[in-house]
Amino acid sequence: MSYGRFVIAVSCVLLLVFAVLFVSPALCYNEHEAKAAVEATESKVSSCYGTVFEAEKAGANVSNLLSVLNEAGWFLSKAKLAYSQGDFDSAVAFADNCSSRLDGIVAQAESLKLDAERAGHWDFMVNFVGSAVGAVCVVVGGFAVWVFLKKREEIRERV
C-alpha cells in the first residue's frame, strides 16, 4: 500500500470517528429536552392566539394570521404525537417548525390591532361627532337665516 492511500484511509477513518462522536449526540434529544420544547411551543401558540384574538376584538382582519396559527397548531399536534410515541427528535423538529411559523405574528397582530383602533376612532369622529357638529350647524344656520329674513321683512314693512 502506498503512502498516499494510507493517508486517505486514515483520513477517512478519522472523519468517520469525528462524525460519530460529534454529530450524533447533537441530533439526539432526550425526553426532558423534547418535553421542554413542546411545552415552550405550546405556550407560544397560546400567547399568539391571545394576541390575535385581541386584534380581532378590536376589529382587525386577522384571516391571514389565523391561517398561520392553524398551520402552527398542526405542527404542534404533530410534535405532541411524536413526543407521546417516544420520537423525541421528531417532536423537537416539529416544535421548532411550529415556533418558526409563529415568528413575527405577535407584532403583526398588534400592528393590525392598532390600525383597527385608529380606524374605529376615526369612524367615531366622522359618524358621531361629525353628525352632531353638522346638526348644530344646521340649527344655527337655520336660526341665522330666520333672523336675517325676519329683519328683512321688518324693513319692508317699514318702507
- pLDDT beyond 90 at 39: yes
Which range among 7-11, 18-22, 30-34, 98-102 shows the weakest confidence by mean pLDDT? 18-22
Choice between 126 and 49, residue whose per-residue pLDDT is larger: 49
Average pLDDT over residues 67-89: 94
Tell whether pTM > 0.85.
no
Residue (of 70, 76, 119, 115) closest to 95 by Cα position? 76
Question: In the chain, how many domains are there?
Answer: 1
Identify the band that residue 55 occupies on the pLDDT scale cut at 50, 70 and 90. very high
User: What's the start-to-end Cα distance of the chain, in Å?
Assistant: 136
Q: Tell me how far the alpha carbon of residue 19 is from its chain's centroid.
A: 40
Look up the domain containing 119 and give its range.
3-158
